[in-house]
Structure 1
Amino acid sequence: MTKEAALREELKKIDVNEKLSACPIDFSRSKVANPRAGQQSKTYVSGTAKSNFNDRKKFQPYQEPQFNNLFTDGTLPVEANRYRLIWSRHCPWANRLAIAIDLLGLDNVISKGVVDPLRPAGVVGDWFFTLDDNDEDPVLHTHSLSESYLKADPNYDLRTTVPALVDIKTGKVVNNNYNTLIDEFSIAWKKYQNENAPDLYPEALREDIDALNKIIYTDVNTAVNEAGLARSQADYEKYYNRVFNRLDWLEDRLSKQRYLFGSIITDTDIRLYVTLARFDVVFYQKYYVNKKRLVDYPNLWNYTKDLYSLPAFKNNTDFDAIKKRFYQVDHTPQSDLPRIIPNGPDLSNWTAPNDRDRFEK
């Protein structure tokens, strides 16, 4: 059986839902994932932001990307310094794009703005530029991401999500599709990429990349969240088993080659990395996905350290922001929402040597 056929066979075993799986700490009814679950709604004074963390009807846990304008079909002009990626350093979906932009060398022509991983007390559906001077994005001159969503659609009433690509000229969100933007940058922005930039979406591998992306999305990227969202033992065990069956499968795959498709880094490696980078820090502890840690998988762990050794990965991996978002949750006072932020795990081993160059030899 060829590799391509093997991937198709694996794909037949799973049900792929490409709607965004929201962060369980906002939408889970389980106290395990969401420390606010079951709390009485309370109004906080936070500028114009409204306290709404018990408003689950409006902000459903699944949501498709609402803005899908493309470069590859000519809808969006490929123009240097016209677009700004808005992301949060805690978010794996957004983290993908930040890594890809730097890895391709597009950081000189596509700027990046960062929202605070901690929202105002009680707020679920928006992100804010409270890390910047005057609480304002220095390029877009907006205070919240929803402002760019509303410029694109004045009737927009869903939650605002990261990543979001904003047209600086108009201030409008033009694409928030976390599943397609890497490939858009890979294909349509080649004239601006570094000379030595990897081809993240090589034409000869696209069918295989698409298949493995769906497998990883379903059994790793979203399955860890689904374990956190679970409201029954049966649902929890379903996703728990999905995660570790797939990690075992990936461990075997990476025992034979440096990256997921041999000796080259592709889109798929970025998609897997962002979940692995958060595994021991968050998912193993907080969502009870705790059969094994990442460091217990020799190939997966060394593969992740290998990617982390590259500046595009390391500089866009912020463990402090990850821990803040998943454990501190938001700016709710400790007296209203008691929570503890764990000191561990020890992160010094991320810069330890890895063994992946054995495949190049």
Structure 2
Amino acid sequence: MSEVRYASPIDEQKYGAYSAFSDSVASCEEETFRFGERIGTESYPAESGRYHVYLQYVCPWAQRVQIIIDYLGLENVVSYSYLDPLRDGRGWAFRERTGPDPVNGFTLLRDAYLSTAPDFKGVPSVPAVWDRKTSRLINNRYDDTIHDFSTVFEKLKNTGRDIYPPALREKIEELLPWISEKINYGVYEPAFAVTQESYDAAVENLYQALDALEDRLSRSRYLLGEVITLADICLWVSLLRFDLVYYPLFRANRRRLIDYPNLWNYARELYAIPAFKKGSRFDYIKETYYSNFAYLLYRGIVPALPITDWEQPQDRIPLSGK
């Protein structure tokens, strides 16, 4: 790449506001996640230097991939880069504060999608895996990426760590859907509830799950014993954001993470690990979540319900690892 190129500044008057939905296809989700080639196959073997991942500091699903790469010692095997935290109608973009696209010189993530599939009409998302050898985007499916990077580069990693050990895989696969439904997506349910009844049910379900995790971690250092697994990584990215955005902004306001002694200590212990801390940009997380949510509230997409048990967020230092 000979020239460093960046997208122009955010301009909603010219490009419109960002939307996570597309009116141009019958199924936006199906179109968005149409890229499903797997690393470790004959066409896409696990090779050092071949793959690059487009990430975003804000996205918990993208942070999982970054943690896996760094925790397993694959940082010299698989490269990654970040996009700017804010979006207009063009979607994720490369700007000065997070750096350029080091592989293709794209200014927009959409460019990677359209260069691979010119008829793409979905919403460009992260994490997105680019194959240097074929010059195309090959996968943007959340679960595919975490499983591929957890397993297929075993001979290339520079640590002895294994976050998907054969002896625990069945238990990991039992936990992952529960974590996804109850926590990763569960934190969004109170925010998007449209009635008091649906809000109350969403909060109850979320905090029942957090209570169960608190109990589990009173008897176990990590979710499955004394070793960090893929399940811990998938849970932790939501815990990182809980008190900063989910509690005050998403109206998940019954208790904070800091009010759960075992969950809090667990989250802080993981945060102290360099691979977990590296991609934890509280400033970007807060900037994006609060900007996007304010827009949704203004448009009436998120209702301003008269929630009776709302608690004002207390000032405190977020997860510090100290």
Equivalent residue letter for 2:256? R
Do the aligned residues in 2 keep the contact of 1:129 with 1:137 (CA within 8 Å)?
yes
Equivalent residue letter for 1:173? L
2-structure distance, mates of 1:207, 1:296: 31
Q: Report the counterpart of residue 131 of structure 1 in structure 2.
A: 96
Do the aligned residues in 2 keep the contact of 1:281 with 1:345 (CA within 8 Å)?
no
Question: Please, which runs of 5 or more residues in structure 1 have no aligned partner?
Answer: 1-41, 333-341, 353-361
Q: Report the counterpart of residue 63 of structure 1 in structure 2.
A: 29
Q: Report the counterpart of residue 76 of structure 2 in structure 1.
A: 108
Distance 1:80 1:321, change over 3 A: same
Do the aligned residues in 2 keep the contact of 1:220 with 1:242 (CA within 8 Å)?
no
Aligned-pair distance for 1:58?
4.7
SS of residue in 1 equivalent to 2:138:
strand
SS of residue in 1 equivalent to 2:13:
coil
Q: Is it true that 1:215 corresponds to 2:215 in the alignment?
A: no
Distance 1:348 1:284, change over 3 A: closer
Number of aligned residues: 294
Q: Report the counterpart of residue 31 of structure 1 in structure 2.
A: none
Q: Deviations over 1:124-169 (max 9, x none)?
A: x621001368x74132210111111112211110101111111123
Q: Deviations over 1:56-114 (max 9, x none)?
A: 64589972532111123333121111111111101111111011110011111111110
SS of residue in 1 equivalent to 2:79:
strand
Equivalent residue letter for 1:166? W
Aligned-pair distance for 1:346?
2.9
Q: Any residues of structure 2 matched to 1:191-270 within 5 Å, and which?
A: 191-196=155-160, 198-270=161-233
Q: Report the counterpart of residue 81 of structure 1 in structure 2.
A: 49
SS of residue in 2 equivalent to 1:68:
coil
2-structure distance, mates of 1:145, 1:253: 40
Structure 1's consecutive aligned runs of 4 or more residues displaced over 4 angstroms after TM superposition are 49-56, 58-62, 342-345
Q: Any residues of structure 2 matched to 1:298-337 within 5 Å, and which?
A: 298-329=261-292
**RMSD, aligned CA:** 2.7
Q: Deviations over 1:272-331 (max 9, x none)?
A: 00000000000000110011000000000000000001000011111011001011339x
Q: Any residues of structure 2 matched to 1:86-97 within 5 Å, and which?
A: 86-97=54-65
Do the aligned residues in 1 keep the contact of 2:83 with 2:94 (CA within 8 Å)?
yes
Q: Report the counterpart of residue 235 of structure 2 in structure 1.
A: 272
Do the aligned residues in 2 keep the contact of 1:132 with 1:138 (CA within 8 Å)?
no
Equivalent residue letter for 1:201? Y
Percent of residue pairs identical: 37
Q: Is it true that 1:151 corresponds to 2:119 in the alignment?
A: no
Question: Please, which runs of 5 or more residues in structure 2 have no aligned partner?
Answer: 1-10, 296-311
Q: Report the counterpart of residue 3 of structure 2 in structure 1.
A: none
Q: Is it true that 1:44 corresponds to 2:13 in the alignment?
A: yes
SS of residue in 2 equivalent to 1:190:
coil
